[in-house]
Amino acid sequence: MADDAASRDPHAVRDAAALAALYAAPSPLAAMKTLDRLDKWCRRFLELSPFVAMASAGGDGAADVGPRGDRPGFVKVLDDRTIVIPDRPGNNRIDTLRNIVANPEVATLFLIPGVDETLRINGRARLTRDPALLESMAVDGKPAKLAIVVEIREAFLHCAKAFKRSKLWDPAAQAPKGTLPSIARMIGDQKKLDDDLVAASEKRAEIAYRDGLW
């Protein structure tokens, strides 16, 4: 267990005071930037963002993070304190949705391609099947299957250092196509699956990517 590993590590940082001693105080701007609602810049960021990573945890505290992507502006703003994220077809593991049912606390990180800054929104989530809401987020005539409603506790912009260090948007830093095999091939290798099953999975994924995004 993690706690046992920490107790065996002579260099482990075990309390808030020891952690704070390692770092300088945050800049005034970083310390004061948190909002308890959306402002015009948060709204503008959401209008341009086609991608969000959502972190959640189950009732046992085990954490998970999953990506959600759609056309820019896919997140619906109901008001300054409430956003709605549509649930589109996926692999049906529904890890995040299961977590929300058990524990409503979520954290999100919104990205805009080419922009190094990000938007973080944290709050409490619930799942809804409200027909009018799902229909309002339809794409190509296909309504969302479910909606994640997030009641905002805090929202703030995050600086660009991680993106500048990683050169995430730099074309020269992108891995060439084919650097990794298909996800089916990688999972097949991890789980020692036979080639026929892997090939069938690759075919299903090809069809899903082509015809099942919404």
Q: Which pLDDT tens digit goes with each residue over 113-134?
A: 999 999 999 999 999 999 999 9
Domain membership flag for residue 53: yes
- 4 — pLDDT class (breaks 50, 70, 90): confident
Residue tagged 């987020």 (tokens): 137
Beta-carbon contacts of residue 30 (< 8 Å; ≥ 6 apart)? 159
Domain membership flag for residue 23: no
Quick one: pLDDT at residue 2? 53
Whether residue 85 sits in one domain with residue 158: yes
| Distance of alpha carbon 150 from alpha carbon 83, whole angstroms | 5
Whether residue 187 sits in one domain with residue 115: no
Quick one: pLDDT at residue 6? 79
Residue range(s) defining the domain that contains residue 200: 175-211
Whether residue 41 sits in one domain with residue 131: yes
**The whole model's pTM is what?**
0.93
| Distance of alpha carbon 133 from alpha carbon 31, whole angstroms | 36
- 177 — pLDDT class (breaks 50, 70, 90): very high
Q: Burial of 84 by CB count in 10 Å (0-12 exposed, 13-18 middle, 19+ buried)?
A: buried
